[in-house]
Structures are given as structure tokens and as C-alpha cells.
Amino acid sequence: MSYLLKQLVREWRFLLRQKYLVVLLVCTFVMSGFAVYSGLSEVTQQKQTIERLKAADLTDLTNVQHKYDDAGSLAYYSFHLTYSSPSNLAFAALGERDIYPWKHRLNLLALEGQIYESDAQNAELAQAGKIDFVFVLSALAPLVIILLFHDLFASERTSGRHDLLVTTAKSYFALWGARITVRFIG
């Protein structure tokens, strides 16, 4: 076990000497942190909006009940709040909540026109999408993996150390496995 640990520690030191990999890992960590923070703040904002709409819906319903006393007028003139609360993992994957409506206040008056309404605040921002954690995983993670592994073997060959390392290595894992493991963990 100590042999394996020595190999991993050695490879961590080699990785930390390569400044571009350290910068890449720091940028990835910062981008992931921003994506999670952005998702959490969006979910918090959506939950606050839902709570405000619930209070406004209750006020409007009370006003309509004071104004009309028959059931038909109450149903026709009162608003009905419909919403889709964000899930527990919505901070990581907001999905298309910025394109498709997740909250509506419907009333039976002009119902057909309300079906196609959208609650997107800025259509241009909705086109680009949000930087959520799923974007980081699906778009940036493959690029980071490519940058981490692109010169795994080539750097040793160009520096002339490859043949010496292959002949003196105890095993394949001792030479390449520890390096691959450390970069994958990174």
C-alpha cells in the first residue's frame, strides 16, 4: 500500500510542477463553483417569486370574493396560480426553466391567449442559456479531460525519457497508472 501511495504522491508533485495544469484545474474549480452558486441563487430567486405570487394570489382571491358573490363570477374573474417548484437538484441543472414558463396566473377570461404566454424576462439571454453545473459537466469537462491527457505519453517521448522510463518501470501501473489516476482525480 505504501508503494502505491508513493507513486500517487510522486505524480501529484509532477502535476503541480506543470503550471498550465494547475491553472487549468483552478479555472475548472472556479467555473464549477460559479455554476453551483449561480444555480443556487436562481433556485432561491424562483422560490421567493413563488412565495410572492402565493401571497398576491391570496390577496386577489380575497378582493374578488368581496366584489362578487355568485359562483360563476368568482370562477370567471378570479386568478388561479399554477407553478412548478424547482426540484432539489435544480441548482445543478436548471434545464429549460428559463425558456418555458414555470409560473402562471390564469383566469378563465381569455384563457386561450394565456396558454402561449412565456415568463422569460430577456429572450436574448434565454437563447444563450445559463451556466449551470450540467453545462460545466457536458461542455467543459470533456475539454478539461482532453487538456489533462493530451500529452500524457508525448511529453515523455519528446523529452527523450520514454524509453528509459519503460525499461526501468516496475509495472505498467507504476509508470502510467499512477499518472492517469492522479490526472483523472484532478
pLDDT at 2: 82
What number of CA atoms fall less than 13 Å from residue 60's CA on the CB side?
Answer: 16
pLDDT tens track for 111-144: 666 666 655 555 555 555 667 788 888 888 888 8
The pTM (predicted TM-score) of the whole model is 0.73
pLDDT tens track for 100-112: 777 877 877 766 6
Domain boundaries, the chain: 2-185
Contacts of 18 (CB under 8 A, 6+ apart): none
Distance (Å, rounded) from C-alpha 78 to C-alpha 151? 66
